[in-house]
Amino acid sequence: MLINDLLARTRAHEALINAALQRVVARGWFVLGPEVAQFEQAFSAYLGLSHCVTVANGTDAIEIGLRAIGMKKGSKVATVANAGMYSTTAILAIGAEPCFMDVAPDTHNVALEEVERVIALGIDAVIVTHLYGRAVADIEEVARLCNAAGVRLFEDCAQAHGARINGRKVGSFGAASSFSFYPTKNLGALGDGGAIATASDEVAAVARSLRQYGWAQKYQVSRAHARNSRLDEMQAAVLSEFLPLLDATNARRRHIAQRYSDAIKHPRVSLPSWTGEDYVAHLFVVRCPERDALRAHLRGLDIAAEIHYPLPDHRQPVFGATYSEVFLPDTEQLATDILTLPCYPEMTDEQVDLVIDGINAWVA
Ligand SMILES: *Cc1c(COP(=O)(O)O)cnc(C)c1O
C-alpha cells in the first residue's frame, strides 16, 4: 500500500480530467488565460476572499506572497521549523532572515507563547503553517497579537485547503496566505501549482505583477525582484474540475482519520487529537517512541509510512552551525517519533482496516 495513490485518483476522475485537458488543447491558449481566471475566481470565492493570484507552485506562493506584504532583504520573518523547510526556503530566497518558533507537541502547530516571544524580538512577519491539514487553533489570537504589534501575518495553507476555525476557512486570517496544488495536496493538480490568497487589492496587485516579470503592463517592468511564476491553463482547468469535489474528498479523508482514531489501539502509539472541521486530514501523523521499528513492521506488511519531516529547518545542512545555539525542544522531539500513515480519499475501507490491524498486531 502506497502512502498516496495518485493513479487511483486519476482513474477515478479520468473523464473529468480528459475533458478539461481537451478544452485547453482545443482553445490553444496555454498560460494565464481564461482557465486561470476562472479558477482564481472560483477558489477565492471558496475561501471567502476577494483575490486569488495563482503561481507556479506553493513555495513561490510563499516567496511572492511575502514580498507582496512588504518583506524584503533583511526583513525578519518567523516560522516553524517542523514544516518541511518550504517557508524557510522562501524566506531565504528573498534575502530575509528566518527566526524559528517551536510548536505545541499535541497539535504540531506553532505555540502561542512562541508567537509572543518572536513579536517581542522585533520581527517583521509571522508565518503560521496549518500543518498536516489541521488549522492553528489559536489563529484568531495570533492575528490579534500580530495586528496589535504591527507585524504582518502570513498563513501557509499548503496542507489545509478547506480547513476551518469558527466557520472561517484558513487563509483568511492573515494579510495573505499561500496554497500549493502539488498533486498529493488536498486540492492537487496534475503537476505543480500554487496560489496566493488575500483580501487586499494592493497585495493582490503586487503579487500579480511579481509573478510576471514585474510588469505594470505588457513589456513595461515597474517592479524589482519579480519572477516568472505562472500557473498553466491545463493545471487550472483540472483544478476547476477538482475544486467542487474538495469538501467531499476532505470529508472522506476525515472519515479515514476517524476510523484510525477509533480503532488504532496500541500502548506505544499515540494518536493525533482533532475535533472536526478544523482538520482536513492531509496527513495522519501518529507518535511512537520506537517509530523506526513500527515503520519497518508496516513495511513488512507492504504498508508505506513516511516521516513528515525528519530534519527540522534549523538543523538543515544549508545552515551549517548558524543555528547550533537554537533549541526547539518540542520540534526536535517530534522529529524523532512522528510517523505518517496512509490517508487519502481513494483508500478503500479494506486498506484502512489493513493499516489498523497492522499497527494493533505490532509487537513493540
Ligand atoms: C507542499 C508544501 C509547500 C510547498 O508547495 P510546493 O508546491 O511543493 O512548492 C509549502 N508548505 C507546506 C506546508 C507544504 O506542505
- Domain 6-244, CATH 3.40.640.10 — does that match? yes
pLDDT digits (tens, 9 = 90+) for 159-174: 999 999 999 999 999 9
Tell me if the bond preceding 309 is cis, omega within 30° of 0.
yes
pLDDT digits (tens, 9 = 90+) for 344-355: 999 999 999 999
Neighbours of 166 (CB within 10 A): 9
* Centroid of ligand 1 to alpha carbon of 363 (angstroms): 35
pLDDT digits (tens, 9 = 90+) for 204-222: 999 999 999 999 999 999 9
**pLDDT tops 90 at residue 275:** no
Q: Residue holding cell 471558496?
A: 46
Query: The domain 246-360: what is its CATH number?
Result: 3.90.1150.10
* Centroid of ligand 1 to alpha carbon of 165 (angstroms): 21
Kindly report the protein residue whose alpha carbon is nearest to atom 6 of ligand 1: 58
Helices marked H in the chain? 6-12, 14-27, 34-47, 58-68, 86-93, 112-120, 139-149, 201-210, 233-242, 246-263, 291-300, 329-337, 349-360
Q: Which pLDDT value is given to residue 221?
A: 97
Q: Which pLDDT value is given to residue 96?
A: 98
Average pLDDT of span 139-156: 98
Average pLDDT of span 263-270: 98
DSSP-assigned beta bridge partners for residue 127: 154
pLDDT digits (tens, 9 = 90+) for 55-113: 999 999 999 999 999 999 999 999 999 999 999 999 999 999 999 999 999 999 999 99
What gap in Å lies between CA 209 and CA 228, rounded to an integer? 10
Average per-residue pLDDT for the chain: 98
3-state secondary structure at position 313: helix
**pLDDT tops 90 at residue 341:** yes
Grid coordinates given for 252: 472522506
3-state secondary structure at position 248: helix
Kindly report the protein residue whose alpha carbon is nearest to atom 14 of ligand 1: 158
| Ligand 1 atom closest to 181 (CA) | 7
* Centroid of ligand 1 to alpha carbon of 86 (angstroms): 6
* Centroid of ligand 1 to alpha carbon of 59 (angstroms): 6
Q: Which pLDDT value is given to residue 204?
A: 98
Q: Which pLDDT value is given to residue 364?
A: 87
Phi and psi at residue 344, to the nearest 5°: -145, 155
Domain layout of the chain by residue ranges = 6-244, 246-360
Check if 6-244 and 246-360 are the same fold: no
* Centroid of ligand 1 to alpha carbon of 179 (angstroms): 8
E strand or H helix at 178? strand 176-180
Residues having CB closer than 6 A to ligand 1 are: 57-59, 83-84, 86, 129, 156, 158-159, 180, 182, 192, 194
* Centroid of ligand 1 to alpha carbon of 95 (angstroms): 19
Contact yes or no for 112/141 (Cβ under 8 A):
yes
| Ligand 1 atom closest to 193 (CA) | 7
pLDDT digits (tens, 9 = 90+) for 21-44: 999 999 999 999 999 999 999 999
Kindly report the protein residue whose alpha carbon is nearest to atom 7 of ligand 1: 58
